[in-house]
Amino acid sequence: MHDPYAPDIQVDGRSYYPPPYSINPLPPTLRHGLIPVGCLALLSVVSTLALISFICVRFATWKMHYRTFVGYNQYVALVLNLLLADLQQASAFLISFHWVHKDYIIAPHPACFAQGWLLHSGDVASAFFVLAIAIHTFYTAVYGLRIGTKTFAAGIVFIWAFTFFLTGLGVGLHGKKYFVRAGAWCWISSEYEVDRLALHYIWLFVAEFGTVLIYFVTFFQLRAKTGQLFAGQRVGNRAPNQATVEAVNRITKLMTLYPCVYIMLTLPLSAGRMWSMAHHGKQISDPISLFAAALLTSCGWVDSLLYTLTRKALLRDTMPGSSTSGRAPTTNDTWEATELGNQGITHTRTVTVEGGRVLETGPHHRDQSREHSSHGSVDPILIGSGKTETTVSVETQETDDHEKADRVPALPSYRQRWQKL
């Protein structure tokens, strides 16, 4: 039986796999084309590391900036994990500088194994967290519910565990022959097309098409149900819970940016790989591979830029600040974001109205910092109609230390819960 990994080639006095699983020396296209890929990878590594460090510092110093631990904000937690996946992916392409310096790509080699492992795990983890963002946005925006803290944490752990399982399974089955040269970098050997499909491609395409479908349904449901709600319920010139609706819509739009960026940057390479499989392992050209790699490794710095530009808006809508400076919100359109991550002590008065008649009233004093129930409500404005329970809350909200604002009086924040009879 023919062994595709024989005969060995000698490089620096050691034996390595023959072409196409190794290449020595690099052709001019790869030698010059890997430099911009490495530069973009370096930009992604630096930007993601800087942003991850910033977020971790805010985790450690949350009492100086927020009313509750910022780690309870599930949107921030999802973005943080996406950045960690981007960091792995970018670190893989950072090894391109090593290949340019050595003027070869060889396997089996520690650098080749590291590049294959980081690229595979980073790709799959990014896909899963983009899909997780889509599912989370759908659940909170359409159903108006907050995922329980324990369930959310378990989901994060499961994603990472499953990612490393998919990455390590091929290594366990095929050993050092699994990660070899695959075009302009090291990845799964072309001898294992089934593994490429089952352990990588299928998950990326499920994430990409699943994300598109989920966001389509999300926007359709939001448009339909908010229209139904506002058509029958108005208070003066304003629709009930309008501030909440506007905030939910803003959050949905912000979180849509990450999946859109992911799909645009990863689809060219995924499509090229699928084309290769459809043509019985025929390799795509080096220029196309390098262009696709440049897009893929840009996920890190693009996601970092997105979070940097949208951070204030995201935190304003999901986690009003609580600094020691005593500054109040910069806008009158405040809303009850308690279950999205903002827990504080709120004095409330609940009024229940049914059929135009006041059924019950009563004062409440809640310590919301202890509310992390899996059944917590984001303010379910879109669930049914019937009995209306309106909670009037008065609390002092403050912005982030870096968000300059003039002092304004604290305003009441209104929350309505719609319950089916």
272-280: list long-range contacts, CB under 8 Å, 24+ apart: 273/196, 273/201, 274/201, 277/193, 277/196, 277/197, 277/201
Phi, psi for 310 (deg, rounded to 5):
-110, 0
Residue 329 placed within a domain: no
Same domain assignment for residues 58 and 127:
yes
Q: What is the C-alpha to C-alpha distance for residues 397 and 334, in angstroms, rounded to an integer?
A: 9
Q: How far is residue 269 from each of residues 115, 191, 205, 291, 304, measured CA to CA in Å?
A: 16, 19, 12, 9, 21
Residue 331 placed within a domain: no
Same domain assignment for residues 96 and 151:
yes
**Which pLDDT belongs to residue 323?**
40
Residue finishing a domain among 260, 283, 318: 318
**Which pLDDT belongs to residue 346?**
30
Q: What is the C-alpha to C-alpha distance for residues 264 and 277, in angstroms, rounded to an integer?
A: 21
Give how many domains the chain has, as a whole number. 2
* Token pair in block for residue 77: 């937690």
- For residue 69, give the amino acid letter: F
**Which pLDDT belongs to residue 199?**
94
**Which pLDDT belongs to residue 333?**
36
Nearest one of 403, 405, 404, 401 to 57, comparing CA atoms: 401
**Which pLDDT belongs to residue 336?**
36
Q: What is the C-alpha to C-alpha distance for residues 80 and 49, in angstroms, rounded to an integer?
A: 11
In our burial notation (b when 16+ CB lie closer than 10 A, e otherwise), range 362-400 reads eeeebebeeebeeebbbbbbbbeeeebbbbebebebbbb
Same domain assignment for residues 305 and 383:
no
**Which pLDDT belongs to residue 318?**
62
Same domain assignment for residues 254 and 285:
yes
CA dihedral 116→117→119→121, nearest 10 degrees, is: 150
Same domain assignment for residues 342 and 313:
no
CATH number of the CATH domain containing 191: 1.20.1070.10
State the residue range of the domain holding 157: 23-318
Residue 68 placed within a domain: yes
**Which pLDDT belongs to residue 244?**
61
Q: How far is residue 205 from each of residues 4, 30, 46, 187, 255, measured CA to CA in Å?
A: 30, 28, 28, 18, 20
CB 179 within 8 A of CB 22: no
In our burial notation (b when 16+ CB lie closer than 10 A, e otherwise), range 176-188 reads ebbbbbbbbbbbb
Same domain assignment for residues 271 and 148:
yes
Find where tokens 């409500």 sit: 377
Q: What is the C-alpha to C-alpha distance for residues 372 and 153, in angstroms, rounded to an integer?
A: 12
Q: What is the C-alpha to C-alpha distance for residues 118 and 186, in angstroms, rounded to an integer?
A: 10
CA dihedral 371→377→379→385, nearest 10 degrees, is: -140
Q: What is the C-alpha to C-alpha distance for residues 184 and 283, in angstroms, rounded to an integer?
A: 11
DSSP string covering 274-321: HHHHHTTTPPPPHHHHHHHHHHHTTHHHHHHHHHHHHHHHHHHHH--B
Same domain assignment for residues 294 and 361:
no
Same domain assignment for residues 222 and 75:
yes
Q: What is the C-alpha to C-alpha distance for residues 399 and 312, in angstroms, rounded to an integer?
A: 9
Q: What is the C-alpha to C-alpha distance for residues 225 and 229, in angstroms, rounded to an integer?
A: 6
At residue 15's C-alpha, the angle toward residues 9 and 17, to 5°, is: 55
Same domain assignment for residues 147 and 232:
yes
Q: What is the C-alpha to C-alpha distance for residues 159 and 393, in angstroms, rounded to an integer?
A: 37
Q: What is the C-alpha to C-alpha distance for residues 224 and 218, in angstroms, rounded to an integer?
A: 10
Same domain assignment for residues 273 and 359:
no
Residue 373 placed within a domain: yes
Residue finishing a domain among 287, 318, 349: 318
Q: Which residues contact 413 (CB under 8 A, 6 or more apart)?
A: 334, 335, 336, 393, 394, 395, 397
Residue 324 placed within a domain: no
Same domain assignment for residues 307 and 383:
no
**Which pLDDT belongs to residue 221?**
80
183 in the Ramachandran plot: left (φ > 0), alpha (ψ -120 to 50) or beta? left
Residue finishing a domain among 263, 287, 318: 318
Find where tokens 């129930």 sit: 373
DSSP bridge partners of 187: 180
Give the CA radius of gyration of the chain: 26
**Which pLDDT belongs to residue 281?**
66
**Which pLDDT belongs to residue 267?**
84
Give the β-pairing of 186-188 and 357-367: unpaired
pTM of the model: 0.74
Same domain assignment for residues 50 and 183:
yes
Residue 394 placed within a domain: yes
Residue 202 placed within a domain: yes
Residue 14 placed within a domain: no
- Return per-residue pLDDT of the chain as tens, 421 residues: 567 888 788 888 889 999 999 999 999 999 999 999 999 999 999 999 999 999 999 889 988 877 778 878 888 899 999 999 999 999 999 999 999 999 999 999 999 999 999 999 999 999 999 999 999 988 887 887 788 889 999 999 999 999 999 999 999 999 999 999 998 999 999 889 899 989 998 999 899 899 999 988 888 887 776 666 666 554 444 444 555 666 666 777 777 888 888 889 988 887 887 787 777 767 788 899 999 999 999 999 999 998 888 887 777 656 544 443 334 344 333 333 333 333 322 333 444 555 545 454 444 444 433 344 334 333 333 333 334 444 444 444 344 444 443 333 333 433 444 444 3
